[in-house]
Each structure stands twice: as structure tokens, then as C-alpha cells.
Amino acid sequence: MSDAPVYEIDPKRFWEDPYPDLARMRREVPVAFVPQLGATLLTRRDDIFVNEKKIEVFSSDQPEGLMTRLMGQNMMRKDGAAHMAERKAVFPTISPRTVRDVWKAQFVEQTQAALDEIHPQGRADMARDIAMRISAEALKAVTGLTNMPWREMDRVSQGMMDGCANYAGDPEVEARCNACTADIDRYIDDRLPELQAAPDHSLLSVHLQAGMSEEQYRANVKLAISGGQNEPRDVIAGLTWALLTHPDQLALIESGEKTWADAFDEYTRWMAPVAMSPRRVAQRYELHGVTLEPEDRVFLMFGAGNRDAEVFARPDTFDMTQDASASLAFGAGPHFCAGAWISRCLISEVAMPMIFDRLRGLRLDGETRIGGWAFRGPITMPVAWEV
């Protein structure tokens, strides 16, 4: 076990707002062991940026990790040649060209249908009724699980994410996660004959076309669901909240001074939807006078790095006029988010402009609740608009 200084947290308070604790860690103990999480946290942006690339030390191969045990060993939990082989195999689904030529039109159609259906109601919960649906419908298409209802997509995704963040070892959380992965397997089984008969660009289909094993395609589809539902949902809702609570920033978009892409980049820096990525220490390593030992669990705290005052001008402020290019929102090393192009397209090119165009007079209509430290976003967000 490492000899890192110990930093205690209140788990409930950390879930509600982790940033004060993370700021103190960055200043005082940038490599700190948090007993409530059973891990050593790296909180400075440049430490994360440099060390994430050192896969010989900070390994993604975690046989005993929660994600591997609960979902199977997907490509996110592999390093080197094994990781790159699977990443290459799925490229036909996630490439910029496929996003432009295949997925974008479907995203527009799905988002338009969702907004047309909800518009007459005049009010809804942005997180649960709008962002959740837009994200899930897109993910159904991308994964190939078009047989799954959109609310079911969100349910199984949330169940897996809760399981992967279950460092307290709650048996009920683990049981729900296992039930969700079993449900996904059944949806995969139902789609296999159709995709074998009529291949397409979906993730499940390209795995089959590449001749990848059943273990590989099941694990990677689950990975896509865990990473492809919660995060776009949380950014769509969260960015909407940020703009409604920062009218000066919304005015920059309306005037043409800033773009939806600028808003996306700054929001994901300020409120990183994936705020942590775990690693296993593969060999002894020293950082800031702390010795990390083999098999130690390390958390790369992207959300903390994205608010590093040594890197960002106004780290705790949502401000599109500052430079967000050093953001770690999608990671920095060989495990840079494979769905980055899809996410940018869905959110900044489709969902955000369409939401603000279709729901005229959009405004908050109650208290917004935001939570999470590993994955962060609005839990409830009542809104209203003109009908």
C-alpha cells in the first residue's frame, strides 16, 4: 500500500459537492489516500495528463476492478496491443465520417420527434424527460440495440454506473448492476439474427463483422451503454442549466460571438461528466514524494484537474471566454474517449441548438439538484417554456 498522506472525506457531502475537498487536495496533498474510497487520488491536471500515458505504471488492466467483475473485460480495461486491436475494430462505428454521414441525421430525427412530442406540455424535467430520452435514442442506434425502450436504456446504464462506482460494496447496488447486465445480454441475443442477416454501422454489428468473440462484443456493448447514456444525458441537462443560470454566457451564443461547441467544451471542463477514471499500479512509482506500490488503486480525478488554478484562468467559473483546451473531459492518454466525436455531434450540433430553438422561452421551473463525484450531473431539473 502507498505511503500517501491520508485525506478523510464525508461521502455524502463529497457526492453533493466534491470540489471544495478536491481543491484542498490539489493545494495541500496532490497525491492523497482517501480511506472512504479505498484509493489514492491524483488531483492536479498536469500530473493526470502526464501519468495517464504511463500505462506500464498506471494500468487499465484491472482483473479485480468493479467494471471488469460486473461487466466483463471491455477494451477500456485493456492496455497496449489488446486495447488498440479492439479500438481499431470498432472504428467504423465511431469514426468522424460515420458520425457525419450516418449518425447525425438519425440524431436530428430522433431529437425532433422527442421535442415535438413534449412541446405541448409546456413543462417537464430536463434531465429525466428530455435529456435522458435524446441520449438513449441516440445510443440505441449507435449500439444496435434498437429493440430496447429508451427508458430501459437509461435504467440499465444507471444500474451499471452505480455498480462501477460502488466502492462501499453495497450488495443491493451490486445485485441491481448484475440484473442490468443480464437484461442487456437478452437484448443483444434478440438482435443478433437481424444484424447477422443485415449488417449496419452499429457497434454490435461491426463487432460481428470483425469476427470478435462473444465475450468481446458483450463487454464492449455494455461499456458503450455505461459511457454513452449517462454522460450525454448529464451534459445536455447540465449545459442547459448552466446557460439558464448564466444568461451572459447564453447571450454570447445568441450573438454569434461563441458557438455551441465552445459551450460544450467549457461546460465539460467546468462540470466534467466523467470526473474519475481508476487505474491499477503495475510497478512501484514515486510522485510528489509518495511511493505507490504494485496493486494500489489510483483514481485519476479528471474533475479536479479541470479546475486546476495553475492551468485555467477562472477554474471554478463557467466562462466560455477562457481557454478550455487543456481540459481532461475526454481523458488524455491511449484511452481517450472513443465516443468523443459522437458526443460532440449529438450535444453541440444537434441537441443543444434544437432544444433552445424548439422550446422558446425555456426557463427553470423549480429547484435543480446536481450530484455525483465519479459521474456528475443534474438529478432533477424542472423547466418550463412557451406553448
What are the mean pLDDT values of the chain's consecutive 10-residue runs (387 residues total)?
Answer: 94 97 98 96 97 94 73 74 84 95 98 98 98 97 97 92 82 92 96 97 96 92 89 96 98 98 98 93 97 96 98 98 95 80 97 98 98 94 97
Alpha carbons within 13 angstroms on the beta-carbon side of residue 273 total: 27
pLDDT of 211: 94
- Cross-sheet strand order for the sheet of 277-281: 31-34, 39-42, 297-300, 277-281, 58-59
CATH number for the domain formed by residue range(s) 11-384:
1.10.630.10
Q: What is the domain partition of the chain in residue ranges?
A: 11-384
Residue-level pLDDT at 339: 86
| pLDDT value at residue 165 | 77
Rounded CA-CA distance 92/152 in Å is: 26
Cβ neighbors of 256 (< 8 A, separation 6 or more) are none
Residues 6+ apart with CB under 8 A from 351: 107, 111, 131, 134, 232, 236
Torsion sign across C-alpha atoms 335, 337, 339, 341: negative
Question: What are phi and psi for residue 58, nearest 5 degrees?
Answer: -100, 90
E strands present in the chain: 31-34, 39-42, 58-59, 123-125, 277-281, 285-287, 290-292, 297-300, 363-364, 369-371, 377-380, 382-384
- Identify the pLDDT of residue 208: 96
